[in-house]
């Protein structure tokens, strides 16, 4: 084994490694662009990007919960606050796209729905928007996954997915 | 600052090499802080096994106070001290220069002062904000001031090394920087660029706010500045381990560096692309567009390339060494490696853990996979086999030659040193399996789940008994490993007898290739130029994002919720 041979293999390895990385990048970009993941984004249609926490009454967060907008689509407004989710329990229909809007009234929180890819960093005043369709009816655990204070672990709630009528 | 020419002599360690003493103080102080942090670990591992023993710990107000100590001491304090020790000492010896000792001791005491300030805040339960200290959770001002002084002193150490190296370049026109010094200086350049985010966050936003001079902060801006530093800081932890793997392991294995030009290229790439990657910690944040997230994701993947080069190159160096000793076959040569040497074995085990840690890191950095694992137990599972093993076990391995080298005292009980490395490795592997698995089941990170009422804990624990048990067991294995390791350290340092004459030398490896004639190597030696290019890349990848946040702030007041 001389160093010319090592350098040859090394160059080959460099190309293979770079190619693998390039494939990963392209596949992931494809996933994001095709919305194959419920990404937290600033889509251009997202008008409610920020809310004034001293005046929540003027926003849809005044009455958190599931709503249907003018075109019949489901919108779920949720608030994260120390140390609970509001509403603490919510029912949504299966098989329908649900657009979740969530913000925090105090410090950072997380919102993760088990068995789904819904995973959101919740920042006070910033509104996160994620669209997800629950296929299977059942009870889903919702947990806070960002440290928010001494009651962080207790910050759990339920999302009940019901058979569509 | 002046630099003097160093006179080689081995008779009285500290008389002829006062820089040995500062290296010893930096590394051992770091190890002492690590011991405190490590002792918190088993409590947390048991928490993730559903067992709560915090109520028996009267000196801790909460799980979160213990976790703050664990994270701050292990990830921020230990690493910074240890790296300042080795990356000041090793390049100085490689360049045959002596640091200005007055300045070096000043940085050491400034760092101690900062850590004491932060410790007052944490031990009083006035800064249980974890090592990420996201506002608007508001800690005591001393915590932020202490953190700022810790970072500031590390930058002064880095500045001193760069100053020495610049002086060396002037004194040696046309010469190529020796490889170990090159890697060390590149690491410091990277850290200076990388630390800007946390410096701006803490100095301009958090300190004035914690002191009550400003009423509110922007949590998204603070988080973005934090992760600007928070990701490349992992390369600041990793690259000193790479220095050891590239520069010392070949010699320790009995061979030479097989591809020095590639080692230099890897460090140059780290300097260029380590920093503009922090957004991959913020894939699930609102307020940042997917386009920027995807750009920084691609740059993150680009940083994987030099790590893959390192894997090849270091393995090739070891194979070369083993074949020199008569090793044969596709894998049979591995038997010829010095497995009974604790320093060598600890570092190879660190490398093995990094294969898994690095692979997991690629999953974390992928925007589509990240949604599955973000802020779950998977993440601490990941960084315990990267910084917790790849870096820490390499540093442990280095101490097995470094402490005897610096003090002239013999390594106490090498067999115990070897055993401690295996126990650490196995403990961390078991921990990683348990935590990655818990994370995939949706168990959140940093949560005091063991204190939950039974029906709530069961929501997490119902299908996680096996991984939870593994996590708890791993905490006990790691406690044993730590006791063994610290017995070796204390046993070595507390001996009265010195034999400076026969102390081990720094295991600088020779190179198989002559680099003096290579144009690429000559070009890469322009670290100031690479630093400037890296700065421009960072400006492009972060400028527009930060400008958008600064011009449209979202200010909220602080809160104490612990």
> In sequence order, what DSSP letters do the residues of B176-193 get, joined into one string?
PPPHHHHHHHHHHHHHHH
What distance in Å separates residue B293's CA from the closest CA in chain A? 10
Looking at every residue in chain A, the average pLDDT score rounds to: 90
pLDDT tens, N- to C-terminus, chain B (562 residues): 455 544 444 447 787 799 999 999 999 999 999 999 999 999 999 999 999 999 899 999 999 999 999 999 999 999 999 999 999 999 999 999 999 999 999 999 999 999 999 999 999 999 999 999 999 999 999 999 999 999 999 999 999 999 999 999 999 998 999 999 999 999 999 999 999 999 999 999 999 999 999 999 999 999 999 999 999 999 999 999 999 999 999 999 999 999 899 899 999 999 999 999 999 999 999 989 889 999 999 999 988 888 888 899 999 999 999 999 999 988 999 999 999 999 999 999 999 999 999 999 999 999 989 999 999 999 999 999 999 999 999 999 999 999 999 999 999 999 999 999 999 999 999 999 999 999 999 999 999 999 999 999 999 998 999 999 999 999 999 999 999 999 999 999 999 888 888 899 999 999 988 888 889 999 999 999 999 999 999 999 999 999 999 999 999 999 999 9
Q: Is B415 a catalytic residue?
A: no
More confident site: A116 or A36: A116
The pLDDT of residue A46: 62
Residue B160, CA distances (Å) to A113, B103, B157, B534 in order? 49, 8, 5, 20
What distance in Å separates residue B75's CA from the closest CA in chain A? 18
Q: Does A124 touch chain B (CB under 8 A)?
A: yes
Q: Which residues from A are below 8 Å from B449, CB to CB?
A: 153
Instruction: Encode pLDDT of A82-114 as tens digits.
Output: 999 999 999 999 999 999 999 999 999 999 999
Place of tokens 């028996």: B56
More confident site: A36 or B61: B61
Report CA A117 to chain centroid distance, whole Å: 7
The pLDDT of residue A48: 81
The pLDDT of residue B3: 52
| Helix or strand holding residue B525 (H, E) | none
Task: Kindly state the tokens that stand for B92.
Answer: 């100085």
Alpha helices, DSSP H, located in B340-386: 342-365, 367-373, 378-385
Instruction: Note whether A3 contacts B513, CB cutoff 8 Å.
Output: yes
* Partner-chain residue, chosen from A126, A129, A156, that has the shortest CB–CB distance to B456: A156
Instruction: Note whether B284 contacts A36, CB cutoff 8 Å.
Output: no
The pLDDT of residue B63: 96
Dihedral sign for Cα A101, A102, A105, A108, please. negative
Task: Kindly state the tokens that stand for A116.
Answer: 């789904």
The answer to whether B525 and B173 are in contact (CB under 8 A) is no
**Beta-strand relationship, A156-162 and A89-93:** parallel
ipTM of the complex: 0.94
Residue B188, CA distances (Å) to A102, B100, B127, B240, B525 in order? 41, 17, 29, 10, 14
The pLDDT of residue A130: 92
What distance in Å separates residue B360's CA from the closest CA in chain A? 14
Q: Which residues from B are below 8 Å from A89, CB to CB?
A: none
Q: Give the whole-angstrom CA distance, residue B121 versus residue A126.
A: 30
Alpha helices, DSSP H, located in chain A: 3-33
* Partner-chain residue, chosen from A9, A28, A125, that has the shortest CB–CB distance to B367: A28
The pLDDT of residue A38: 76
| Helix or strand holding residue A95 (H, E) | none
The pLDDT of residue A1: 60
The answer to whether A80 and A104 are in contact (CB under 8 A) is yes
Q: Give the whole-angstrom CA distance, residue B431 versus residue B481.
A: 13
Q: Is A149 helix (H, G, I), strand (E, B) or coil?
A: coil
Q: Is B378 helix (H, G, I), strand (E, B) or coil?
A: helix
Q: Is B518 a catalytic residue?
A: no
Q: B224-260: b or e for each residue (b if 16 or more CB lie within 10 Å)?
A: bbbbbbbbbbbbbbbbbbbbbbbbbbbbbbbbbbbbb
* Partner-chain residue, chosen from A53, A107, A110, that has the shortest CB–CB distance to B444: A110
The answer to whether B179 and B263 are in contact (CB under 8 A) is yes
Q: Give the whole-angstrom CA distance, residue B322 versus residue B342.
A: 17
Residue from B384, B396, B412, B460 carrying the catalytic annotation: B384
Instruction: Note whether A121 contacts B282, CB cutoff 8 Å.
Output: yes
- Asked whether the predicted pLDDT for residue A45 surpasses 80, the reply is no
Q: Is B383 a catalytic residue?
A: yes
Residue from B33, B78, B205, B235 carrying the catalytic annotation: B235
């Amino acid at each position: 084994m001389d160093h010319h041979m090592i350098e040859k293999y090394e160059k080959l390895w460099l190309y293979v490694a770079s190619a693998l990385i390039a494939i990963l990048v392209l596949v992931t970009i494809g996933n994001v662009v095709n919305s194959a993941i419920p990404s937290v984004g600033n889509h251009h249609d997202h008008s409610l990007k920020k809310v004034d926490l001293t005046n929540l009454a003027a926003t849809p967060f005044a009455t958190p919960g599931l709503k249907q907008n003018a075109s019949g689509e489901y919108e779920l407004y949720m608030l994260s606050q120390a140390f609970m989710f509001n509403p603490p329990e919510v029912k949504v229909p299966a098989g329908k796209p649900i657009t979740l809007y969530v913000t925090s009234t105090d410090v950072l929180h997380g919102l993760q729905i088990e068995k789904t890819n819904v995973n959101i960093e919740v920042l006070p005043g910033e509104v996160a928007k994620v669209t997800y369709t629950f296929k299977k009816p059942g009870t889903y655990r919702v947990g806070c996954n960002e440290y928010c204070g001494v009651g962080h672990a207790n910050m759990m709630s339920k999302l009940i997915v019901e058979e569509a009528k | 600052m002046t630099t003097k020419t160093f006179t080689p002599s081995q008779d009285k360690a500290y008389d002829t090499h006062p820089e040995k003493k500062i290296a010893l103080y930096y590394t051992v102080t770091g190890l002492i802080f690590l011991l405190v942090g490590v002792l918190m670990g088993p409590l947390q591992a048991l928490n993730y096994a559903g067992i709560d023993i915090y109520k028996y710990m009267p000196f801790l107000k909460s799980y979160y106070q213990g976790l703050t100590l664990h994270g701050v001491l292990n990830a921020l304090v230990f690493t910074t001290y240890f790296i300042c020790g080795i990356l000041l000492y090793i390049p100085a010896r490689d360049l045959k220069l002596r640091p200005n000792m007055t300045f070096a001791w000043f940085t050491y005491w400034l760092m101690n002062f900062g850590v004491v300030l932060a410790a007052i805040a944490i031990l009083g339960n006035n800064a249980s904000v974890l090592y990420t200290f996201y506002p608007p959770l508001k800690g005591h001002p001393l915590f932020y001031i202490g953190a700022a002084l810790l970072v500031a002193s590390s930058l002064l150490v880095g500045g001193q090394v760069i100053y020495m190296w610049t002086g060396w370049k002037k004194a040696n026109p046309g010469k190529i920087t020796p490889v170990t010094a090159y890697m060390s200086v590149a690491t410091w350049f990277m850290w200076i660029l990388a630390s800007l985010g946390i410096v701006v966050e803490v100095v301009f936003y958090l300190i004035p706010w914690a002191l009550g001079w400003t009423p509110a902060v922007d949590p998204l801006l603070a988080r973005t500045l934090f992760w600007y530093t928070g990701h490349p800081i992992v390369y600041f932890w990793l690259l000193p381990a790479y220095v050891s793997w590239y520069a010392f392991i070949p010699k320790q294995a009995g061979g030479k560096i097989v591809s020095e030009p590639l080692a230099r290229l890897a460090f140059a790439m780290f300097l260029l692309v380590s920093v503009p990657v922090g957004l991959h910690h913020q894939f699930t944040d609102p307020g940042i567009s997917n386009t920027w997230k995807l750009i920084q994701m691609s740059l993150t993947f680009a940083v994987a390339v030099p790590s893959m080069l390192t894997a090849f190159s270091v393995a090739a160096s070891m194979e070369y060494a083993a074949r020199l000793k008569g090793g044969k076959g596709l894998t049979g040569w591995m038997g010829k490696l010095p497995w009974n040497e604790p320093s060598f074995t600890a570092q190879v085990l660190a490398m093995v853990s990094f294969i898994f840690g690095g692979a997991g890191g690629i999953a974390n950095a992928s925007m589509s996979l990240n949604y599955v694992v973000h802020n779950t137990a998977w993440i601490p599972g990941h960084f315990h086999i990267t910084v917790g093993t790849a870096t820490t076990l390499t540093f442990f391995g280095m101490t097995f030659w470094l402490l005897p080298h610096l003090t002239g005292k013999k390594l106490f009980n090498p067999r115990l040193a070897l055993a401690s490395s295996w126990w650490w490795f196995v403990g961390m592997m078991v921990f990683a399996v348990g935590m990655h698995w818990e994370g995939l089941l949706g168990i959140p990170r940093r949560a005091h789940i063991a204190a939950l009422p039974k029906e709530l804990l069961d929501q997490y624990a119902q299908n996680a008994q096996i991984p939870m048990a593994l996590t708890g067991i791993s905490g006990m294995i790691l406690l044993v490993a730590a006791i063994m390791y610290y017995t070796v350290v204390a046993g070595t340092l507390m001996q009265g007898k010195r034999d400076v004459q026969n102390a081990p030398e720094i295991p600088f490896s020779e190179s198989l290739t002559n680099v003096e004639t290579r144009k690429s190597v000559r070009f890469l030696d322009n670290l100031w130029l690479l630093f400037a290019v890296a700065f421009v890349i960072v400006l492009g990848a972060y400028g527009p994002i930060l400008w958008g946040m600064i011009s449209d702030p979202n200010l909220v007041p602080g809160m104490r919720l612990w």
